[in-house]
Amino acid sequence: MKTGEQAHAPMAISSGRLRLLELAGDGIGPEIVAVTRVVVGAALALQDIEVEFITRDIGFAALEKTGTTFPGEVLDEARACDGVILGPVSHQDYPPTSEGGLNPSGVLRKELDLYANIRPARTRPYVPSPIRTAFDLVIVRENTEGFYADRTMFVGNGEFMPTPDLALAVRKITAQGCRRIALSAFELARQRRRKVTAVHKANVLRISDGLFLDQVRQVAALFPDVAYDEKLVDAMAALLIRIPDQFDVIVTTNMFGDILSDEASELSGSLGMAPSLNSGADHAVAQAQHGSAPDIAGRDIANPVSLIGSAAMLIRWLGVRRDQPALLAAAQDIDEAVERTLSEPALRTRDLGGPSGTRAFGLAVKARLGGSSRHLNAKPSP
């Protein structure tokens, strides 16, 4: 690394077992988290890595028992564990904060300073996609500020209503927030095809997106070996459909990243496909890109690929930080087993046109672990 600004010394390899916090969440959360646990546990066992899953209630399950959707002790546990596997949450249906409705995802991102949301999406030749052009890109989304009412203020909320017919929302953009997400993007691009595209709306949001672009350009100057360009977010929505193969790493602010990554995920085959890691200097949380999908909850039809892939990203993140090849090998093994499973049409879930249930898909992935990656030279890639 040339910039030096984000270098982390490898953590000491913790003696004993890996401790992963498992938070099932709402809607399809419990189903996809259960399947993810089976796959992760088996992949780590194949590498002789002991793992302890610590289970805590969040969301509606916690609200019933404790009066809040995110009990304080869950945050303490998240700080203490090696990593978190977070199921999707139905936070839009929670009661107001004053009645215990906290968005677990927002709290974790803010409190653990998980500033980088890394969201890869790609097509596969063997999975049907709504577009013909093959692509492989990563959206690097700022995660701790932007247009998110729960992340904007030190005290209070970023959305308010001065009069009954007037609603205001505040968008927070800081130089430090933009700089560190830009560094994440350029460092990632160096491991990939060495191209970064900054997505913005600085023609309208001249000051805030102007600050974002200014910081990204300064970082771009530190990476002369990485190609850099900029796109307006509205144009980008169209370009993702027309020429998705032209993009490698896309860096953008919080809400633009959320919207574009759903689009990229759907273009890759289904919202259930694309993984996502929330990471900061000291913590990381695996979280599917999609939401809690209440319309299909409890029916064993959800696609667990997004969360399984997210957990693989978490294991890889730990492997890189700890310089522990067995963790890298476990992550690679999970990814390869998912690909082998997806390549068989009869094993795919309903969103991909297959007949498989969530659990059956997970067991099929588990059965395909250990195929070709019981080696310790797995490549660390996102």
Rule CB under 6 A: which residues touch ligand ATP? 262, 271-272, 290-293, 295-296, 302-303, 306, 351
Looking at the Cβ atoms of 339 and 351, the one nearer to ligand ATP is 351
Relative to beta strand 159-163, strand 116-122 is unpaired
Catalytic residue among 148, 231, 248, 335: 148
Q: What is the C-alpha to C-alpha distance for residues 349 and 52, in angstroms, rounded to an integer?
A: 29
Q: Which of 214, 234, 282, 323 is catalytic?
A: 234
Residue 258 annotated among the catalytic residues of the structure: yes
| Whether residue 201 lies in the annotated active site | yes
Nearer to ligand ATP, 233 or 273 (CB): 273
Closest CA to 245 of 213, 274, 267: 267
| Nearer to ligand ATP among residue 292 and residue 356 (C-beta) | 292
Q: Which CB, 145 or 262, lies closer to ligand ATP?
A: 262
Q: In whole angstroms, how close is the CB of 301 to ligand ATP at the nearest point?
A: 7
HSE toward the beta carbon, residue 306, CA cutoff 13 A: 33
Smallest gap from residue 33 Cβ to ligand ATP (A): 12
**Least distance from ligand ATP to the Cβ atom of residue 306, Å:** 6
- Rounded to whole angstroms, the Cα distance separating 307 from 287 reads 6
- Residue 118's nearest CA partner among 320, 272, 314 is 314
> 3-class SS at 148?
coil
Q: Please give the angle made by the CA atoms of 325, 34 and 264, to the nearest 5 degrees.
A: 75
Q: Residue 52 Cβ, how far from ligand ATP at the closest point, in Å? A: 26
The catalytic position among 26, 57, 248, 262 is 262
Using CA atoms of 373, 378, 379, 382 in order, give the dihedral in degrees to the nearest 10: 70
Is the Cβ of residue 144 or residue 373 nearer to ligand ATP in the bound state? 144
278 DSSP β-pair partners: 117, 285
Distance (Å, whole) CA 253 – CA 266: 20
The CA distances from residue 40 to 119, 187, 334, 363, 365, in Å, are: 19, 27, 7, 11, 10
Among 251, 363, 209, 371, smallest CA distance to 300 is for 363
Give least dist CB 322 to ligand ATP, A.
30
Q: Supply the minimum distance, in Å, between the C-beta of residue 358 and ligand ATP.
A: 8
User: In this complex, which beta carbon is closest to ligand ATP, that of residue 284 or of residue 302?
Assistant: 302
148 catalytic per annotation: yes
Which DSSP string corresponds to 126-144?
Answer: TS--SSSS--EEEEEEE-S
| Minimum CB–partner distance for residue 257 and ligand ATP (Å) | 12
Q: Which residue is nearest to ligand ATP (CB)?
A: 291
Contacts 24+ apart (CB under 8 A), 152-161: 157/97
Annotated catalytic, 57? no
* Marked catalytic residue, from 136, 201, 300, 351: 201
Q: Is residue 254 a contact partner of residue 145, using CB atoms and an 8 Å limit?
A: yes
> Among the options 26, 258, 333, 335, which is catalytic?
258
Helix (H) or strand (E) holding 86: strand 83-86
Q: Compare residues 38 and 46 and give the one whose CB is closer to ligand ATP.
A: 38
Active site residues: 148, 201, 234, 258, 262
